[in-house]
Amino acid sequence: MIPRLSSQAHQAGAACPQISSFPWYERIRTAFLIEPGGEDRTPHETFDNDVNSRGKRDRVRVLHNFDRAASIYDSTRSLPDSVMNAVVDAISAELRGSRLVLDAGVGTGRFAGPLRNRGLAVVGLDVSRAMLSEARRKSAADLVRGELLTMPFVNGAFDSCLMIHVLHLVESPTRLLSEIGRVCKSKVLSLAESSDYVSVRENYIRLLTQAGYSWGDLSEQKLTTIVAPTLLKEVISYPVVRKADDDIEYFRNRMSAVTWDVPAEVHERIIRELSSSLGGRVFSFRTTVRLAKWSAVQLRDADLGSAR
């Protein structure tokens, strides 16, 4: 398949420079036959599509789950408008001066779209075609379909990189950080979120561990305790009210990546326990969002130790 970067999103806004104006563009285009514009704006895959390739079955399963979650992803990750505006403003301020930004794991374009509206040139990379279709509807970014652990970009292609809610989704966080450090020249930004709420997700993982299954749960928040950021500042703290039943139903339907590989019998038993202990409860708490920044070199050479 031939990967393509669509430059139509940039054509819609004069504040965003054309992808083809960047020095690395010709090298990328030559190596991967990337062409701007055109009617077919579907991001093509940049990974091996041989049906007999190693790991193909696992890849198809993972893609199916990401694609299945695309239509509801925004609703499960949504932030109040005032919070989202504060977060995007903070990210935008830190990215000022970056000619080209990679959103690694762009998903549905939740951040790439608003950042583009603030005049930033953003390229979105994701493995899920359904997620990218949602992003494309928002004119979120120039979009590439490919794997985060083997990014289809030359060294130092981007000035800066975003990495939001992706570490827990990849098989090798160390390799992801190395790839980000390779394709990024300067700084890497992420969000570190924390609260005093013991979530349904945390309870699911606890019960899963008790059942003898492991789930490496390296988050961007945890990364800040392993690799010290050059910047870690609070952006906003806001109140949240959550119904446990809504979260339990989300897990019951296996929409969370935590549940994808759990055997049916174990999954059903955990759901029963969660329903028994948390069903009907409503939780009120505060969530704090911090902006974290690392240098590309920090992450490229990061030693995560035993962290997944």
pLDDT at 182 over 50: yes
Q: What are phi and psi of 283, to 5 degrees?
A: -115, 135
Rounded Cα gap, residues 32 and 27, in angstroms: 8
Rounded Cα gap, residues 301 and 34, in angstroms: 30
Looking at residue 159, its pLDDT comes to 95
In this prediction, residues 20-34 reach a mean pLDDT of: 45
Q: Which residue has the tokens 């970009």?
A: 153
Q: Do residues 239 and 297 lie in contact, with contact meaning Cβ atoms separated by under 8 Å? A: no
Query: Residues 235-259: pLDDT tens digits?
Result: 999 999 999 999 999 999 998 888 9
The two structure tokens encoding residue 95 = 């990215």
Looking at residue 74, its pLDDT comes to 53
29 or 136, greater pLDDT: 136
Neighbour tally for 77: CB within 10 Å:
12
Looking at residue 129, its pLDDT comes to 85
In this prediction, residues 209-214 reach a mean pLDDT of: 91
pLDDT at 292 over 90: yes
Percentage of residues in the chain with pLDDT exceeding 90? 54
CA distances from 215 to 3, 205, 265, 307 (A): 33, 7, 17, 11
Kindly report the CATH number that applies to the domain delimited by 8-300.
Answer: 3.40.50.150
pLDDT at 33 over 60: no
Mean pLDDT for all residues in the chain: 79
For residue 92, what pLDDT band results from cuts at 50, 70 and 90? very high
pLDDT at 75 over 90: no
For residue 73, what pLDDT band results from cuts at 50, 70 and 90? low
Looking at residue 53, its pLDDT comes to 37
Query: Residues 254-279: pLDDT tens digits?
Result: 988 889 889 999 999 999 999 999 99
Percentage of residues in the chain with pLDDT exceeding 70? 73
